[in-house]
Amino acid sequence: MNVASLTIDAVRSSIQERHTTALALAEAHYARIKERDGEIGAFLTLCRDRALAQADRIDRMAEEGEPLPPIAGLPIAIKDVMSTRGVRTTAGSKMLEQYIPPYDCTAVSRLESAGAVVLGKTNCDEFAMGSSNENSAFHPVRNPHDLNRVPGGSSGGSAAAVAADMVVAALGSDTGGSIRQPASFCGVVGLMPTYGRVSRYGLIAFASSLDHIGPLTRTVKDAAIILGTIAGRDPMDSTSAEVPVPDYVAELEKPVRAMKLGVAKEYFGEGLNDDVRQAVEAAIDKLRNLGCEIVPISLPHTPYAIPTYYLIATAEASSNLARYDGVRYSLRARGVKTLSEMYRRSRDEGFGTEVKRRIMLGTYALSAGYYDAYYLKAQKVRTLLTRDFDEAFQRVDAILTPTSPTAAFRLGEKSNDPLSMYLADIYTVTADLAGIPGISVPCGKTKEKLPIGLQILGKHFDESTILRVAHAYEQA
Active centre residues (catalytic): 79, 154, 178
Sheet architecture: strand order including 398-402: 43-46, 117-122, 75-79, 169-174, 212-217, 189-192, 438-445, 451-457, 398-402, 260-264, 293-297
Question: Which is nearest to 107 in space by CA: 165, 158, 68?
Answer: 158
Beta strands in 232-349 (DSSP E): 260-264, 293-297
Q: Which secondary-structure segment (H or E) carries 184? A: helix 180-186
Q: Which of 205, 136, 220, 184 is nearest to 411 (CA)?
A: 136
Can you spell out the DSSP letters for 51-119?
HHHHHHHHHHHHHTTPPPPTTTT-EEEEETTB-BTTB---TTSGGGTT---SS--HHHHHHHHTT-EEE
151 burial via Cβ count (<10 Å: 0-12, 13-18, 19+): buried
CA pair distance 154, 133, nearest whole angstrom? 5
**Using CA atoms, how far apart are residues 239 and 172, in angstroms rounded to an integer?**
19
- What is the C-alpha to C-alpha distance for residues 319 and 362, in angstroms, rounded to an integer? 8
Is residue 232 within 8 Å of 114, Cβ to Cβ? no
Strand partners, 442: 453
